[in-house]
């Protein structure tokens, strides 16, 4: 009996070895972390960050004087009415642009995602290339290009938001489609059900909360982007901000900034409530 216990006691002192796959995963994680820290260190060394000048007493005094010019904000009824109309225009631009982007992104995500082995590799490559092009060009550049053909106003801003966001949502939707649980689709495919019906009745119902969550999150970002697009003449609060800030109308600029803050907070709160309702 004593002889039988010795090997057990000896085996309990053996070092614990990780499985090869888990060890490889950890090595990749450590390598990525080390490279990321190296990039951060190189950025700090290469950039001319003048913190001493930025935090000097003279610089802080100038910034404080500039901020003081915003008070009190303009609260006249006529101007508030103009700001409210511009805020509604910004909200409408972001909502319509996000809706168009969600539809176009889903249409591009279907050929871009690898759903099964029979997919067309060339079509998938073209769809992914188009998604990369759409999201690599910023909204401001899209708006500048579209202003030439569409003219000043919210139409160019809406199209700019839709084009850039289509690339972002299309990429996210494609990844969601590829990572969908394969069980329901495989069961229907064995029964001879067509791919279109499988997508409609098996894949999309599983991913609908995730796709809506992505869309709502991008809508939050598009609210901020829509205000920036107004600077180049795409309408909304941004165009109003560019006009009054260029003329140094600081009280009116303060009112516009407060309207932007209220609009972003409103959309953020509504989007958060909607995402919570979807995940319950």
> For 134-164, what is each residue's pLDDT tens digit?
989 888 888 888 888 777 778 888 898 999 9
pLDDT at 14: 47
Looking at the predicted structure, is the pLDDT value of residue 60 above 80? yes
Question: How many C-alpha atoms does 207 have within 13 Å on its Cβ side?
Answer: 25
pLDDT, tens digit, for every residue of 79-118? 999 999 988 988 888 899 999 999 999 999 888 887 665 5
Q: Residue 211 in contact with residue 199, Cβ under 8 Å?
A: no
pLDDT at 17: 66
The CATH number corresponding to 77-279 among 3.30.365.10, 1.10.10.350, 3.40.50.300, 1.10.3720.10 equals 1.10.3720.10
pLDDT, tens digit, for every residue of 213-241? 888 888 888 888 888 887 777 777 888 88
Dist CA 74 CA 255 (whole Å): 6
User: What percentage of the chain has pLDDT greater than the value 70?
Assistant: 82
Query: Which of 159, 274, 258 lies closest to 215 in space, CA to CA?
Result: 274
Eight-state DSSP code of residue 203: I
Looking at the predicted structure, is the pLDDT value of residue 211 above 60? yes
CA distances from residue 166 to 50, 58, 241 in whole angstroms, order as listed: 38, 46, 27
pLDDT at 232: 75
What distance, in Å, lies between the first and last C-alpha atoms of the chain?
58
Kindly report the length of the chain: 280
Dist CA 230 CA 232 (whole Å): 5
Q: Residue 101 in contact with residue 166, Cβ under 8 Å?
A: yes
Domain ranges of the chain: 77-279
Most confident of 8-12, 57-61, 103-107, 214-218: 103-107
Confidence of residue 180 (pLDDT cuts 50, 70, 90): confident
Least confident interval from 43-57, 102-116, 193-207, 236-250: 193-207
What is the enclosing helix (H) or strand (E) of 10? helix 2-12
Q: Residue 169 in contact with residue 214, Cβ under 8 Å?
A: yes
Mean pLDDT for the chain? 80
Contacts with 123 (C-beta within 8 Å, 6 or more apart), sequence order = 111
Eight-state DSSP code of residue 116: S
Tell me how far the alpha carbon of residue 74 is from its chain's centroid.
33
pLDDT at 16: 57
* Beta carbons within 10 angstroms of residue 252's beta carbon: 22
* Beta carbons within 10 angstroms of residue 19's beta carbon: 8
The CA dihedral of 96, 100, 105, 110, to the nearest 10 degrees, is: 140
Look at 18 and 145; give whichever has higher pLDDT. Answer: 145
Tokens of 77: 């009824």
CA torsion sign for 226, 227, 232, 236 is positive
Confidence of residue 169 (pLDDT cuts 50, 70, 90): very high
Looking at the predicted structure, is the pLDDT value of residue 3 above 60? no
Confidence of residue 1 (pLDDT cuts 50, 70, 90): very low
């Amino acid at each position: 009996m004593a002889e039988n216990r010795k090997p057990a006691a000896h085996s309990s002192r053996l070092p614990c070895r990780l499985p090869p796959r888990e060890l490889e995963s950890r090595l990749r994680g450590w390598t990525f972390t080390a490279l990321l820290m190296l990039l951060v260190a190189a950025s700090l060394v290469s950039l001319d960050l003048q913190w001493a000048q930025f935090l000097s007493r003279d610089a802080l005094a100038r910034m404080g004087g500039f901020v003081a010019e915003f008070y009190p904000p303009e609260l006249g009824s006529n101007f508030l009415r103009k700001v409210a109309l511009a805020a509604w225009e910004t909200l409408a631009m972001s909502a319509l642009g996000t809706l168009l982007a969600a539809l176009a992104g889903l249409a591009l995500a279907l050929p871009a995602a690898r759903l099964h082995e029979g997919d067309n590799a060339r079509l998938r490559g073209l769809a992914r290339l188009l998604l990369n092009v759409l999201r690599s060009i910023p909204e401001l550049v899209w708006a500048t290009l579209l202003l030439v053909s569409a003219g000043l106003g919210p139409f160019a801003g809406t199209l700019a938001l839709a084009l850039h966001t289509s690339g972002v949502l299309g990429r996210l939707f494609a990844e969601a489609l590829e990572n969908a649980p394969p069980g329901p689709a495989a069961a229907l495919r064995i029964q001879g059900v067509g791919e279109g019906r499988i997508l409609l009745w098996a894949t999309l119902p599983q991913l609908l909360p995730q796709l809506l969550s992505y869309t709502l999150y991008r809508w939050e970002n598009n609210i901020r982007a829509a205000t920036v697009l107004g600077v180049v003449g795409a309408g909304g609060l941004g165009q109003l901000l560019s006009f009054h800030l260029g003329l140094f109308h600081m009280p009116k600029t303060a009112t516009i900034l407060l309207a932007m803050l209220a609009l972003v907070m409103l959309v953020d709160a509504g989007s958060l409530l909607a995402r919570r309702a979807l995940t319950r």
